[in-house]
Chain A
Amino acid sequence: MTTSLETDICGTRLRNPTMLASGVMGETGDSLLRVAEAGAGAAVTKSIGLEPRRGYPNPTLVELEDGYINAMGLPGPGIEAFGEEMSVALKGGIPIIGSLFAAIPEDFVTLAVRMQEYGASAIELNLSCPHAKGYGMEVGVDPEAVASIVRQVKAAIDIPLWAKLTPNTHRLLDVAKAVEGAGGDAIVAVNTVKAMAISVEARRPVLFNRTGGLSGPAIKAVGLRCVYELYEAVDIPIIGVGGAETSRDVLEYLMAGARAVQIGSGVGRRGLGVFQAACGGLLRYLEEHGLNSLSDIVGVAHVQ
């Protein structure tokens, strides 16, 4: 038997477990195509809403030694115009996961149905963006609200439904159980950690929105903890995200219980080669340890 990095997330087959995280290079079809060419196993689109949205004025990004703080404010072309981008993105031959944001279940349903029509392999609900008023995390910390969204969207589509959750709550596990109970197919954890940067010289917050979401290696330890706890709380697959850049980072997430790992900030910090480099390291690890597939290491860190 040959060593393979293939992985399966509730019916969506990936050639490898690395995935582009939402929010990075996912706004246009051509950039998603480049991510496919760069070797990612799947790509998640920028979160798309009902209408075109400009997002916040700059500064929208702070660069730190070990990550970024961003407050883009969910800019995007809206679901209508995104069809054209999807048709380009699908030429890459990898699963394209449609990320969506909305404030109420009915709007999530409308968006999910369109995204399915466009050819998305799965839907990822953005229940976790920490910097857009009325959306994301403001919806995603209430288990009942989340259950209602998941139930209604799930009833309207045939493709798998993933829910991307926020670590900015003490109710992460309750929210995840609500997703599972309402029929959600997978959990994506975590979105960015709500954060802030202040300029001493300017005596004010740097970001236009004042607060934003911290990503990159700075939050890997938080993401790992969340995935580890989620693995023990729910039975549906978990996709890890938060600061993973190297094959070692990916291994840590897999061992914590993730079936696949999304990479976002790593694309900015290490370039588009980040996917292939991580996969090369994973393959070497499997071979060196005489393992045939990734499933042999998923969750192994849960020692008695």
Chain B
Amino acid sequence: MFSEAVKIEQRVEEGKGITTLRFPMGAKVRPGQFLMVWIPGVDEIPMSVSFIGALAGITVKEVGEATRALSLMKEGDVLGLRGPYGNGWQLPPGRVLCVGGGVGMAPIMTAAEGMADRTRVDVAIGARNAGEIIFEGRARRASDDVRTTTDDGSYGLKGTVVALADQMMREKRYDVVLGCGPEVMNRYLLKACKQHSVPCQLSLERLMKCGAGLCGSCVIDGLRVCADGPVFTGEQVERMTEFGRWKRDDAGLRVSL
């Protein structure tokens, strides 16, 4: 665990409203872990690590004030970081299908690269439209079988990434599926994996304050997304009564998703 201030060395526009910031970082990170990223004067938010190594990175999609401020940061600007937090993926042996929806590709990509064996890792990339498909080139360097899909058919197949993953599970036998995306995607992916009897791991998201397992703001059925997750096994997710139905707001009140 560390806290440090880093200078942004590289800023890359990955897609429409999706930006990668790269910075040198001392701490060792495992695929699937996240950082608490402080934008001084604005906010501090959890971000999956999208690049591991000497020049680490996060990939942010503009959805609100904090993500917009982060997206607008330039090379040379300072970010506060603490972490890495969370469990990360259990990178298994065997044939793996990595499924990423939108900016959910960030932790998916580090998993695909972390396995370092393009013959046993397949990647399904989904987004709402062509402008939001990210990391396809990286995926093709890490895998022999990369497929893309968009909701509006503007790139790759037309349809959801879960339908694509379902198709791939029909064609090939996978030992495990790793998934990260919007909760509705995770929910249907879990269902598809169950139908094909393939174990899965899903990276989940909740409103997060401390990030360090203390405050309890990110709990789902008592499991802390920050400290017990963010990656949960399909069995764990199936037992969650709140998954796919409720989240907690800033006050800890349960609200419908």
Q: Which residues of A are at the interface with B, using a C-beta cutoff of 8 A?
A: 23-31, 33-34, 46, 52-55, 57-64, 68, 70, 72, 75-78, 81, 199-202, 204, 206, 264-265, 267-268, 271
A61, A62, A77, A271: which contacts B252 (Cβ < 8 A)?
Answer: A77
Chain B, 1-53, CB within 8 A of any chain A CB: 1, 3, 5, 36, 38, 40-41, 43-45
Work out how many contacts link A and B, with CB atoms closer than 8 A. Answer: 126
- The CA of A78 and the CA of B216, in the complex, are separated in Å by 15
Instruction: Count B-side interface residues using an 8 Å CB cutoff.
Output: 34
Q: Report B-chain residues with C-beta under 8 Å of the C-beta of A31.
A: 216, 219, 222, 224
Are A202 and B80 closer than 8 Å at their CB atoms? yes
Chain B, 202-257, CB within 8 A of any chain A CB: 209-217, 219, 221-224, 227, 248-253
- The CA of A61 and the CA of B36, in the complex, are separated in Å by 10
Are A70 and B210 closer than 8 Å at their CB atoms? yes
- The CA of A58 and the CA of B44, in the complex, are separated in Å by 5
- The CA of A49 and the CA of B221, in the complex, are separated in Å by 23
A83 to chain B, nearest CB (A): 13
A25, A57, A204: which contacts B216 (Cβ < 8 A)?
Answer: A25
Are B212 and A53 closer than 8 Å at their CB atoms? no
Q: Which of A60, A78, A81 has the most CB of B within 10 A?
A: A60
Q: Which residues of B are at the interface with A, using a C-beta cutoff of 8 A?
A: 1, 3, 5, 36, 38, 40-41, 43-45, 78, 80, 82, 209-217, 219, 221-224, 227, 248-253
- The CA of A68 and the CA of B210, in the complex, are separated in Å by 10
Given contacts A57-B43, A61-B215, A199-B5, contact A75 B252 (CB under 8 A): yes
A58-B45, A60-B209, A72-B215 known; 5 new pairs, CB 8 Å cut-off, are: A28-B252, A46-B216, A58-B44, A60-B44, A61-B215
Q: Whose C-beta in chain B lies nearest to the C-beta of A88?
A: B222
Given contacts A28-B252, A33-B222, A77-B252, contact A59 B38 (CB under 8 A): yes
A to B CB contacts below 8 Å, 7 in the list: A28-B222, A54-B249, A55-B209, A61-B211, A72-B215, A77-B251, A202-B78
Q: Report A-chain residues with C-beta under 8 Å of the C-beta of B44.
A: 58-60
Are B209 and A25 closer than 8 Å at their CB atoms? no
Are A61 and B214 closer than 8 Å at their CB atoms? yes
Are A201 and B78 closer than 8 Å at their CB atoms? yes
The 6 closest A-B pairs by CB, nearest first: A30-B222, A201-B5, A54-B250, A58-B44, A202-B40, A52-B251
Q: Report A-chain residues with C-beta under 8 Å of the C-beta of B1.
A: 63
